[in-house]
């Protein structure tokens, strides 16, 4: 419960986004890594997205590929926005979405994300003059009216066809798949170990009486 928040919610990611917006000065810029649910969750999520579109210039969303975080299968985005002063009209006139996820395949060890994989996005981003942006296969423009007309102002936008769903020949080799399974198991084991370490140790029944 904070007076400067647009909505009260137990969702930590939504609160994280609201907190960052509140920290920005007028004219301040942010690029925030957020999970997919922030882009489509109903209730408080819809309220926050609509307020963000109105009170900030949410100009770019980068859809990150899976396989680049320690916890495998995480679907995340980088949301770029500038804080603006109060105004009668919405500040977000258009939002550009770059899809670096569909038909892209990365892992932490066997095929990690490298700077070269982001080169095209860096080129089309054009921070100095966003008016010169040009649409491409992976980079699309959506107007404010397009966004607010979507169900619950859903910003989880896709348009590319996922070829791996139609053609099994596009799947990684068995060796790569096996390596990914090992990575996921190692990540899960590490998370369980961390959880176990955080839990209080329990005494064995009768141990205290025996020691006495």
Per-residue pLDDT band at 200 (split at 50, 70, 90): confident
For the chain, percent of residues with pLDDT exceeding 90: 66
Poorest-confidence range of 109-113, 156-160, 185-189? 185-189
Q: What pTM did the predictor assign?
A: 0.78
Per-residue model confidence as pLDDT tens digits over 28-56: 999 999 999 999 999 999 999 999 999 99
DSSP per residue over the chain, as a string?
--TT-SS--S-HHHHHHHHHHHHPPTT-EEEEEEETHHHH--THHHHHHHHHHHHEEEEEEEEPPSS-SSSTT--EEEEEEEE----SS-S--EEEEEE-STT----SSSS---GGGGHHHHHHH-TT-GGG----SSEEEEEHHHHHHSGGG------S--GGGT-GGGSPPHHHHHHHHHHHHHHHHHHHHHHHHHSPP-PPTTHHHHH-
The whole-number average pLDDT for the span 154-158 is 97
Q: Assign domain 12-198 to its CATH superfamily.
A: Vaccinia Virus protein VP39 (3.40.50.150)
The pLDDT, as a whole number, for residue 177 is 62
Q: Which of 50-54, 126-130, 181-185 has the highest mean pLDDT?
A: 50-54
The pLDDT, as a whole number, for residue 174 is 75
Poorest-confidence range of 4-13, 100-109, 201-210? 201-210
The pLDDT, as a whole number, for residue 128 is 83
The pLDDT, as a whole number, for residue 143 is 98
Structural domain spans, the chain: 12-198
Average pLDDT, the chain: 87
The whole-number average pLDDT for the span 152-167 is 85
The pLDDT, as a whole number, for residue 139 is 98
């Amino acid at each position: 419960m904070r007076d400067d928040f647009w909505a009260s919610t137990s969702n930590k990611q939504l609160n994280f986004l609201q907190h960052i917006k509140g920290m920005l000065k007028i004219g301040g810029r942010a690029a925030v890594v957020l999970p997919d649910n922030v882009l489509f969750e109903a209730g408080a999520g819809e309220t926050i997205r609509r307020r963000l579109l109105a009170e900030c210039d949410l100009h770019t969303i980068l859809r990150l590929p899976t396989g680049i975080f320690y916890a495998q299968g995480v679907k995340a985005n980088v949301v770029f926005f500038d804080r603006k002063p109060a105004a009668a009209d919405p500040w977000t006139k258009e939002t550009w979405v770059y899809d670096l996820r569909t038909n892209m395949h990365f892992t932490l060890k066997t095929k990690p994300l490298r700077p070269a994989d982001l080169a095209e996005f860096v080129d089309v981003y054009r921070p100095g003059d966003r008016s010169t942006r040009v649409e491409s296969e992976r980079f699309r423009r959506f107007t404010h009216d397009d966004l607010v007309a979507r169900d619950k102002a859903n910003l989880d936008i896709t348009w590319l066809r996922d070829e791996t769903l139609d053609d099994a020949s596009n799947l990684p080799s068995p060796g790569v798949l096996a390596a990914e399974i090992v990575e996921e198991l190692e990540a899960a084991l590490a998370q369980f170990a961390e959880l176990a370490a955080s839990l209080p140790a329990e005494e064995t029944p009768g141990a205290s009486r025996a020691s006495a």
